[in-house]
Structure 1
Amino acid sequence: MYKITTRTTASPPQPATTPRPNPPGPSSPGPTPTPTATRPPGRRDPRRPSGPSRTAPTDGRPPTPPRRTTQRRTAPRRPRPTDVFADRLLAVLSGRRPVHWMLGRTAGRAYDELAHLAEHGPLRPHQGTRTIHPVIRDIGYFEPRPGALEAFARILTGSRLRAMAFRLELGDDLRWRCTAVELDGPRPPRRDDT
């Protein structure tokens, strides 16, 4: 907040004899203010209290500069790849996204496993008086080696808690891809890779 002040110069000291009367006339000039560079009045927030400036003490001390509040800016936290893939896999297995949505995000057998699981729709919302969409309750992971993550997710479907396991691997292009996915229950038959 800026404090705007104007300065006036006092007339030179007069001898202590008799004061000089002002000559009669239409206007008697008083002390003239010296021109100073003042800023135009700025906006004032009516919610802030008006009063003496905190930086200009009235007891003759030099003014103190205003304190800077240091707010630590933190970069927005990027979600872990396990969280991202758990959401993507749930979207496919619940029927909200088609299987081919994961084409560029899978490698190896994972696409075939996902297609087989999504074909049966194990996590599709229950129809009834109200639709209950599956929700991820918990995600955990283990890093067996750098560039590989084995993860699990607990999924709440209505009143039942389901489990999903998947594996992620970091490719040469520094992108994560799902290389395996399984749900609780009977496992799909695996074909030998030829």
Structure 2
Amino acid sequence: MTRPRPRPAATRPPGRTDTRPPARTDTRRPSGPSGPSGPSGPPAASRTPARPLRTPPQPPPHPTELFTERLLLVLSGQKPVHWAARHIAHTAFDDLTRLAESAPLAVHGRRPTVHRIGHYEPRSGVFEVFARICTGGPSLRALAFRLHLGEDARWRCTAVEVGTPAP
């Protein structure tokens, strides 16, 4: 009968008592699910809690800017008239409906842009607004409307007109 050969004793540094082999040092980065973004999470350097970027609060847009955009969408044919109906009062809805039928600010393939907005406040709670609208050509179109602040603290358009360029 043959006896198994005895294994040579592993050489251990002095003071080491465990019998496990020395740990292997792997210099490769792990990939796949156990990689830096896997179950073990991101690397230690990126584990610091990230502070959310704080932007200063923006003031709400002025009512003249909001209504200019609303009227521009309706008069260019991008939105139907009833989309803005709750923001229009009195005979201005009839005027807007009549104007929207001809789509005076419609541009084929491009959206008209607001070139400049200005307003005059004849008394508190009333704005008379004028806007220059660029429709892609060499000339600008004029949009004028009037805003009233209602008792319910909501702005409503009470008059609207569009100027067409001279031929």
- TM-score, normalised to structure 2's length? 0.64
The answer to whether the Cα contact below 8 Å between 2:142 and 2:164 also exists between their aligned partners in 1 is no
Shift of 1:44: 6.3
Please list the CA deviations of residues 4-40 of structure 1 after superposition, one character each: whole Å capped at 9, or x if unmatched: xxxxxxxxxxxxxxxxxxxxxx9xxxxxxxxxxxxxx
Identify the structure with the greater helix proportion: 2
Matched, 1:148 2:130: no
Please give the alpha-carbon distance, in whole angstroms, between the structure 2 residues aligned to 1:170 and 1:132.
Answer: 33
Shift of 1:73: 6.9
Which stretches in structure 2 are left out of the alignment for 5+ residues? 1-14, 16-42, 47-53
Q: Which moved more, 1:99-108 or 1:177-186?
A: 177-186
* 2:135 alignment partner AA: T
CA RMSD of aligned residues (A): 2.3
Which stretches in structure 1 are left out of the alignment for 5+ residues? 1-25, 27-42, 47-71, 187-194
* 1:168 alignment partner AA: L
Shift of 1:185: 3.7
SS in 1 for 2:118: strand
Matched, 1:113 2:92: no
Matched, 1:164 2:146: no
Count of residue correspondences: 117
What is the correspondence of 1:6-85 to structure 2 with a 5 Å cutoff?
45=45, 74-85=56-67
Please give the alpha-carbon distance, in whole angstroms, between the structure 2 residues aligned to 1:182 and 1:148.
Answer: 17
2:152 to 162, 167, 173: 173
SS in 2 for 1:125: coil
User: Percent of aligned positions with the same letter in both sequences?
Assistant: 51
SS in 2 for 1:82: helix
SS in 2 for 1:91: helix
Please list the CA deviations of residues 46-98 of structure 1 after superposition, one character each: whole Å capped at 9, or x if unmatched: 8xxxxxxxxxxxxxxxxxxxxxxxxx974221000000000000000000000
SS in 2 for 1:78: coil
